[in-house]
């Protein structure tokens, strides 16, 4: 890559965020630990009946992953705003939307990707049939970056608020309802032996739109928050 080019700048932002996340490995393990605890406690709450657990396994896994990702979203831009890195990104000649997109990608790699890796374990603890496992993993692979992109826009909008965590939860959870419905619906259809690619296609369409529009909206919101 040519030094000073847009590609090298994006790679540098991605490498920087991944390096910083690796230095705080405890923060990466926290969402995974949270998901494991919730999934372990759930059979104690509803009972150990395999048929009941299998019926609700898809919804439980998706809601658990959603809440685990939400735990780390509040810190997406906070450190960069506090140490002045965000101003440097805004002054860079490269498009801010691309640099913000790299930060969202780094967040997804460090927070959502470990959850996708442990998702088969979570699902097996809830007696999810093996036939539905491909639908679960594919739905998570599409739904989690969509949640990260939607969350990035809302984090940028609440960047100047002192109670951003509360505002983020109130605004993000309604937007996540369609994502959870389509993702859990795909898993439920796979469990029943029905075609399940249609809900996945809707999730994919939403992800494509979010990849195009969310970085632009996040960059605009960050500029407004930093100027106010």
Write down the domain spans for the chain. 6-227
Give me the helices (H) in 24-112, please.
Answer: 25-46, 50-73, 78-83, 85-91, 96-107
Per-residue pLDDT reduced to its tens digit, 86-106: 778 788 788 888 888 888 998
Q: Is the dihedral of CA 59, 62, 63, 64 positive or negative?
A: positive
Alpha carbons 85 and 64: distance in angstroms, whole number: 32
SS (H, E, C) 166-199: HHHHHHHHHHHHHHHHHHHHHHHHHHCCCCCHHH
Place of tokens 């442990």: 118
110 burial class (0-12, 13-18, 19+ CB within 10 angstroms)? buried
Per-residue pLDDT reduced to its tens digit, 27-60: 778 888 888 888 888 888 877 788 888 888 888 8
Per-residue pLDDT reduced to its tens digit, 110-138: 888 888 999 888 888 888 888 888 988 99
Alpha carbons 125 and 133: distance in angstroms, whole number: 13
pTM for the full predicted model: 0.85
Split at pLDDT 50, 70, 90, the class of 141 is very high
């Amino acid at each position: 890559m040519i030094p000073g080019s847009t590609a090298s700048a994006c790679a540098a932002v991605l490498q920087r965020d991944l390096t910083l996340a690796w230095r705080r490995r405890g923060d990466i393990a926290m969402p995974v630990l949270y998901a494991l605890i919730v999934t372990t406690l759930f059979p104690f709450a509803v009972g150990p009946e395999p048929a009941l657990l299998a019926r609700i396994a898809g919804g439980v896994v998706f809601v658990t992953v959603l809440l685990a990702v939400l735990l780390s979203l509040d810190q997406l831009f906070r450190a960069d705003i506090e140490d002045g890195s965000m101003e440097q990104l805004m002054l860079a000649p490269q498009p801010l939307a691309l640099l913000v997109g790299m930060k969202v990608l780094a967040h997804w790699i460090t927070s959502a990707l470990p959850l996708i890796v442990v998702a088969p374990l979570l699902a097996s603890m809830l007696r999810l049939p093996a036939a539905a496992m491909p639908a679960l993993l594919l739905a998570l692979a599409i739904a989690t970056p969509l949640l990260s992109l939607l969350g990035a826009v809302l984090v940028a909008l609440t960047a100047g608020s002192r109670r951003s965590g509360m505002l983020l939860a109130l605004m993000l959870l309604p937007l996540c309802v369609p994502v959870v419905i389509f993702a859990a619906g795909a898993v439920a259809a796979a469990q029943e032996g029905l075609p399940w690619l249609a809900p996945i296609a809707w999730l994919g369409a939403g992800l494509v739109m979010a990849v195009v529009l969310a970085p632009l909206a996040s960059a605009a919101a960050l500029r407004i928050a930093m100027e106010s």
